[in-house]
Amino acid sequence: MLKEWIQANLTIFSAILIIKLICWANPDLDEPFNYWWGMLIPNVAFILVLILKRFFKEEFH
Protein backbone atom coordinates (compact mmCIF):
# COMPACT_ATOMS: atom_id res chain seq x y z
CA MET A 1 0.00 0.00 0.00
CA LEU A 2 2.90 2.32 0.73
CA LYS A 3 4.25 1.76 -2.78
CA GLU A 4 0.99 2.95 -4.36
CA TRP A 5 0.91 5.99 -2.07
CA ILE A 6 4.46 6.97 -3.05
CA GLN A 7 3.72 6.45 -6.75
CA ALA A 8 0.58 8.59 -6.49
CA ASN A 9 2.48 11.38 -4.74
CA LEU A 10 5.27 11.32 -7.32
CA THR A 11 2.73 11.45 -10.16
CA ILE A 12 0.90 14.40 -8.60
CA PHE A 13 4.19 16.18 -7.88
CA SER A 14 5.34 15.65 -11.48
CA ALA A 15 2.08 17.07 -12.81
CA ILE A 16 2.43 20.10 -10.53
CA LEU A 17 6.00 20.67 -11.73
CA ILE A 18 4.91 20.48 -15.38
CA ILE A 19 2.13 23.02 -14.74
CA LYS A 20 4.58 25.32 -12.93
CA LEU A 21 7.05 25.00 -15.82
CA ILE A 22 4.35 25.91 -18.35
CA CYS A 23 3.27 28.90 -16.24
CA TRP A 24 6.91 29.98 -15.85
CA ALA A 25 7.56 29.74 -19.60
CA ASN A 26 4.40 31.66 -20.47
CA PRO A 27 3.95 34.53 -17.99
CA ASP A 28 0.53 35.41 -19.45
CA LEU A 29 -0.94 32.27 -17.86
CA ASP A 30 -2.10 32.34 -14.28
CA GLU A 31 -1.41 29.42 -12.01
CA PRO A 32 -4.66 27.45 -11.93
CA PHE A 33 -4.78 26.43 -8.24
CA ASN A 34 -2.90 26.37 -4.98
CA TYR A 35 -0.43 23.50 -5.27
CA TRP A 36 -0.67 22.55 -1.61
CA TRP A 37 -4.31 21.60 -2.18
CA GLY A 38 -3.21 19.51 -5.15
CA MET A 39 -1.08 17.41 -2.82
CA LEU A 40 -3.35 17.51 0.24
CA ILE A 41 -6.62 16.32 -1.32
CA PRO A 42 -5.28 13.04 -2.83
CA ASN A 43 -3.39 12.23 0.37
CA VAL A 44 -6.50 12.74 2.49
CA ALA A 45 -8.48 10.59 0.06
CA PHE A 46 -5.83 7.85 0.26
CA ILE A 47 -5.89 7.87 4.07
CA LEU A 48 -9.70 7.80 4.03
CA VAL A 49 -9.66 4.73 1.78
CA LEU A 50 -7.24 3.00 4.17
CA ILE A 51 -9.53 3.74 7.12
CA LEU A 52 -12.60 2.54 5.23
CA LYS A 53 -10.82 -0.66 4.19
CA ARG A 54 -9.93 -1.36 7.80
CA PHE A 55 -13.47 -0.89 9.14
CA PHE A 56 -15.34 -2.45 6.21
CA LYS A 57 -12.89 -5.22 5.34
CA GLU A 58 -15.51 -7.82 4.41
CA GLU A 59 -17.20 -5.50 1.88
CA PHE A 60 -13.94 -4.70 0.06
CA HIS A 61 -13.05 -8.37 -0.47
Yes or no: say if 38 and 14 are a contact pair by the CB < 8 Å rule: no
pLDDT in tens, 27-53: 887 777 777 777 888 888 888 888 888
Which of 6-15, 22-31, 35-44, 51-60 has maximum average pLDDT?
Answer: 6-15
For the whole model, what pTM was predicted? Answer: 0.62
pLDDT at 60 over 70: no
Smallest CA-to-CA distance from 14 within 31, 35, 43 is with 35
What distances in angstroms separate CA 53 from CA 2, 40, 43, 50, 61, one per listed residue?
14, 20, 15, 5, 9
